[in-house]
Amino acid sequence: MTVTPAASAVLPDRVVVGAGPLTVEEVVAVARHGARVVLDDAALAEVRRTRGIIRDLADDTVPHYGISTGFGALATRHIPVDLRHRLQRSLIRSHAAGSGPEVEREVVRALMLLRVATLATGSTGVREETLRTYAGMLDAGITPVVHEYGSLGCSGDLAPLSHCALALMGEGEVRDAAGERMPAADALAAAGLAPVELEEKEGLALVNGTDGMLGMLCLALHDLRGLLVVADVAAAMSVEGLLGTDDVFAADLHALRPQPGQAVSAANIRKVMAHSPIRESHRTEACTRVQDAYSLRCAPQVAGGARDTLDHAARVAGYELASAVDNPVVTPDGRVESNGNFHGAPVAYVLDFLAIVAADVASMSERRTDRFLDVARSHGLPPFLADDPGVDSGHMIAQYTQAAIVSEMKRLATPASVDSIPSSAMQEDHVSMGWSGARKLRRSVDGLARVLAVEVLTAARGLQLRAPLEPAPATGAVVAALTAAGAGEPGPDRFLAPEIEVAHRLVVDGTVRRVVEEHTGPLA
């Protein structure tokens, strides 16, 4: 699965954990770019204080969940003192039951960082040395091997987090900073870290969170913000190349329906199309078309609606980043209370929402691409943008690739959060499936980047075929960037897959956005 780097955000190289809620950008900085993790001194003091509360409860004759009892449906058993370290080890070993392909390094690092952030609140009751060692694994680039399947998105992302906790104990397998797979004990030793022997409550504290799904949500938010700007650029290129009108993107028209994302998208398209000789060439009475097709005219409504959904998802992520998710938790006044905050529903819902809007933005992009290829709708362009139609097929199959991706994205838009399979002998009788929602969203984000890349590539060829008319300065800059990289120029058929990959790279590495913004100023 290809990861989509975002285009324009400036990311920190050092992230302080425990001084306040993390931001999406900080999560991305650590997960994707290896930013250093620093633990806040005041947070460490609170960790030491609340650990004292757990130690006191460990000596209590009254059973306390996660401290002196079993877990889940086995919580009715009181565990004697001499078995409590074994209790915590057994929890991690038994719950590290994932299966399937390895999860991407950046996802594992994101969930590790978010677990460190919760541990640093002091609400979980872990020891300072446990927290320091976990953070040390991140800084050393030690990434536990986590598998695709194992989380139901409730009681935390149990299996993924357990594989990380297993590595903290010096067991299981990890990848080092160079990506080499090795036993966890060897990687810890090489980094100068000692394996942790878990004490009361610590095993539970290490696995009872929504960190995996939240980490993937943060990565998706970061990436989708960049891709929605590219979607506006691609739409502008297509409207221009298909001899459409930019009049429908006027600010006063969009003010009549004050959806905030729609106004932003329309403004972006106006800026990208500004000063286009191609557009001016048909601003005459000879142009008899009254309205463009929906995929051109309604681009701001779709991409704008996606932006508003993204903003909602970002608010949910912000609440979650400010949370301490564990069960039981140590409250600020010293109580240790059971709760249901580990249920992933709030995160699961927005993960599903984002998969829906990504699929719809991609669907509209594919429709615009198809218009370029149909001689009946392209307004004077050759069939399939081919050099010698019949001998050459042009971009015919590039659209097939788009269509295949869009079809898969529509399947991925089926919500995961509406499903629930009871577990733990019916103790955990409703689960969120948020991890599954996050996994399919990652595929959807990757698909959107690829669909947009094909549209950009096709629109660039269409704009070049309008010569001697020149495109707008901003769209022309995209065409120039593509041709400089060896993609997009008209001519006889050639091996097309590498050109699609070039376009994809320029989309995901921020080049398309950057060259446009050199002419338009910042796009939102």
> Which residues are part of the catalytic machinery?
65
* Interatomic CA distance for residues 490 and 119, integer angstroms: 57
Contact in structure between 417 and 352 (CB atoms under 8 Å): yes
- Where does residue 365 rank: exposed (0-12), middle (13-18), buried (19+ CB within 10 A)? buried
The amino acid at residue 226 is G
* Interatomic CA distance for residues 310 and 81, integer angstroms: 49
Q: Where are the beta strands (DSSP E) in 302-412?
A: 329-330, 336-337
Which residues on neighbouring strands pair with residue 15, listed in sequence order? 37
Going by C-beta distance under 8 Å and a sequence separation of 6 or more, which residues neighbour residue 444? 354, 355, 358, 359, 409, 412, 413
Contact in structure between 158 and 136 (CB atoms under 8 Å): no
Contact in structure between 297 and 248 (CB atoms under 8 Å): yes
Please, what's the largest Cα pairwise distance for the chain?
A: 91
Q: Where are the beta strands (DSSP E) in 272-421?
A: 329-330, 336-337
Residue 522, preceding peptide bond in cis (omega within 30° of 0): no
The two tokens of residue 173 are 């397998």
Q: Map residue 420 onto helix, strand or coil.
A: coil
* Interatomic CA distance for residues 92 and 202, integer angstroms: 10
* Interatomic CA distance for residues 65 and 62, integer angstroms: 10
Residue 468, preceding peptide bond in cis (omega within 30° of 0): yes
As a dihedral over the C-alpha atoms of residue 201, residue 203, residue 206, residue 209, rounded to 10 degrees, the angle is -80
Three-class secondary structure assignment of 291-307: CCCHHHHCHHHHHHHHH
Residue 406: other Cβ atoms inside 10 A: 22
Q: Map residue 199 onto helix, strand or coil.
A: coil
What DSSP state is assigned to residue 505? H
By DSSP bridging, strand 14-17 and strand 36-39 are: parallel
Buried b (16+ CB within 10 A) or exposed e, 336-346: beeeebbbbbb
